[in-house]
Amino acid sequence: MLNDSQARTVLADAELLFAADEVQHAVRRVAQAINATLADQHPLLLSVMGGAVVFTGQLLPMLDFPLDFDYLHVSRYGNDKRGGELHWKVAPRENVTGRVVLVVDDILDEGETMHAIKQRVMELGAAKFYSAVFADKNIGKSKPVHADFIGMELPNRFVFGYGMDIHGAWRNLPAIYAVKEH
């Protein structure tokens, strides 16, 4: 966790990658693509807490067809910047059985989180799996899963804002920032 002055310093030292209006354009593009693809499938939308909370909250009112909503809570990073063990706080449950499922997350990094979610959801007998991520990080190697709907491509840097945190801070920013490389 960052204290108040550490959080402010991190933001002051960060680089703005995408401003809030670019973020909003990306969300609208994703919503249009989802509307075009899933309108007749009555999907169960699963939002991955806590990073997807901002993206999901803006995306949902832009979807113009009937759907059901639930959430998962899984964290991979804990409070550390490096990828690690997956920790399920709320795992997928039986309500996915037989459903077209759309999992919404903030960012596809190495893809391990989305891959694990997909495995659990399919094991529980979902009819079809889709994923939407606000951002796809260009990590320069292949990922175990690809997202069906992607808001924006991001460079292989640690980013925060728009739901993504840096040591717990700044999920509330409307824009995307990257930690400066030294």
Interface residue with ligand IMP among 51, 92, 129, 152 (CB under 6 A) is 51
Question: In the bound complex, what is the minimum distance in angstroms from residue 65's beta carbon to Mg ion?
Answer: 26
Catalytic residue among 105, 106, 109, 165: 109
Looking at beta carbons only, is 9 or 138 nearer to ligand IMP? 138
Question: In the bound complex, what is the minimum distance in angstroms from residue 43's beta carbon to ligand IMP?
Answer: 20
What gap in Å lies between CA 158 and CA 180, rounded to an integer?
A: 9
What gap in Å lies between CA 98 and CA 102, rounded to an integer?
A: 13
Query: What's the number of CA atoms in the CB half-sphere (13 Å) around residue 24?
Result: 5
Q: Could you tell me if 26 and 152 are in contact, meaning their C-beta atoms sit under 8 angstroms apart?
A: yes
What gap in Å lies between CA 79 and CA 166, rounded to an integer?
A: 8
Q: Is 163 in the site for Mg ion (CB under 5 A)?
A: no
Specify the stretch interacting with ligand IMP by CB under 6 A; choose among 33-41, 91-99, 109-117, 119-127. Answer: 109-117
Q: Could you tell me if 9 and 55 are in contact, meaning their C-beta atoms sit under 8 angstroms apart?
A: no
Interface residues with Mg ion (CB under 5 A)?
51
Interface residues with ligand IMP (CB under 6 A)?
48, 51, 76-77, 83, 105-113, 158-160, 164-165
